[in-house]
Amino acid sequence: MARQGARVELGPAARPGIEASRRAIEGALGDAEPHYGINTGFGSLSRKRIGDEELHELQRNLVRSHAAGVGEPLPEDIVRAMLLILAASLARGRSGVRVELVESIVAMLNAGVTPIVPEIGSVGASGDLAPLSHAALVLIGEGEATHKSERIAGGEALRRAGLKPITLEAKEGLALINGTHLMSARLALIWADLGRVFDAAVIATAMSIDACRGTDEFLDPRVYEARNQPGPAEVAERLRALLAGSQILPSHAENDPRVQDPYSIRCAPIVLGSVSDSLRGVERALVAELGAVTDNPLVFPGADGGDIVSAGNFHGMPLAIPLDTLAIGLAHVAGISERRVYHMLSAFDEEAHLPPYLSPGPGLHSGLMIAQYTAAALCNEIVTLATPASVYNVTTSAGMEDYNSYGPRAAAKAARSLDLTRRVIAIELVCAAQGIEFHRTLRSGAMVEAAIETIRRVVPTLHADRPPSPDIEAVAALIADGAFSPA
């Protein structure tokens, strides 16, 4: 989304709406009434009326004063996605800005000028104020930016790109910083990667079933019809397809003393399916927000000039709760994966026909013993990240902004959780692929065997101890590239 090289354009159909909303702002400036953020101060200072001769300074000071972020700069793809979503919101004609302002954002994106935006500072209500202010500084020729991979002053970045700073008119500074655009950007980018991790988790589950010589009886469609939950039924169907044609499953169908497999195998469709169902709600929230206007006040043009309405569309709770939900779901995807890794490596189930730690020579070789330690460490951090950010409030702006969402922190936690979960699933794939090697010459289902071939392109079969770290990272990179997702 909005990556370097992707060209952005403001469509001509957007111009009439933007211009109409701007006329409404200009009309409001002439009616001698106070209008929040247009001719007043901000937050708890909203009762302070500002004279017409100071309106330019008011908007410039707003951007400067709110650029209070700290920490490491956000990655460029997040900042560019944030600017793209900002431009789209302003183009919907409810913010009262000039067409020139939207065009300036678009031009900056197309010229490869990316503001330096510190990660921490937004509480996810009244918009993502601090991050968006750092971005807006560059539009007015201040702050810092990167251009052609060089970090330079914002004004210099514009000059090198052949662009000029913009002078903000009434309402425009507020419109630039008063929206959920950082939260939306982070969730959109997380969503683009999330499906690949989930697909890999399903394949890892199927691979582990055969590696552990588990049964497929629990995948009976009648089981999930009785449960009446769509997600579990879909995951069970996918697992059946992945294992179709397996020679390992029928090889132990008779004279196997085990009655049931552990929960991490037998209940995998229920757990993963429940996560899948919860993610549908996350997707709905994301799609809705990408089409939203999250400014305040909102402008509704009309024949009589229109209305300017102060409300709370900037509040991030519609994204904060889904982001927290996403992190909880990832904790279960990773957690049940780690349990299957433990099951494969522990050798407590003699009927699995697996050596301790999948070692090629237990004792002399430790095999994949410590890979499970790493999975456990990853899961420990993921569990802490699953604690919701949105449930605890800290009041801001002298009590005027007395209930915030903390959606940006929920987004940061979710992004970190996704990165860690990808590595847990990579560990399971490495272990399960090695486990199936002990059942040769039997083969698993065609789709599982294709996944093993993909793994073997970067991770050879373990014949003697070697550092597992490069293998784990190589498979994690395969997951990130979509190697285990349907074409």
CB distance 150 to 186 below 8 Å: no
CA distances from 436 to 210, 252, 331, 430 (A): 7, 14, 26, 10
Which tokens hold the place of 312?
Answer: 């709370």
- As a whole number of angstroms, the distance between CA 466 and CA 460 comes to 11
What is each CA distance from 110 to 148, 276, 484, in whole angstroms? 12, 36, 33
Distances (CA, A) of 308 to 92, 300, 311: 15, 6, 10
Q: Buried (b) or exposed (e) across 237-263, using 16+ Cβ within 10 A?
A: ebbbebbeebebbeebeeeeeeeebbe
Tell me how far apart the alpha carbons of residues 169 and 100 are, in angstroms, rounded to a whole number.
Answer: 11
Q: Which of 36, 224, 357, 406 is catalytic?
A: 36
Active site residue 357: no
Residue 43 tokens, joined: 């937050």
DSSP for 222-236, written as a single string = HHHHHHT-HHHHHHH
Element holding 173 (H helix, E strand): helix 172-177
Q: Which residues pair with 220 in a beta bridge?
A: none
Please provide residue 90's backbone torsions phi and psi, each rounded to the nearest 5 degrees.
-65, -30
Q: Cis peptide before 297, with omega less than 30 degrees from 0? A: yes
Task: State the catalytic residues.
Answer: 36
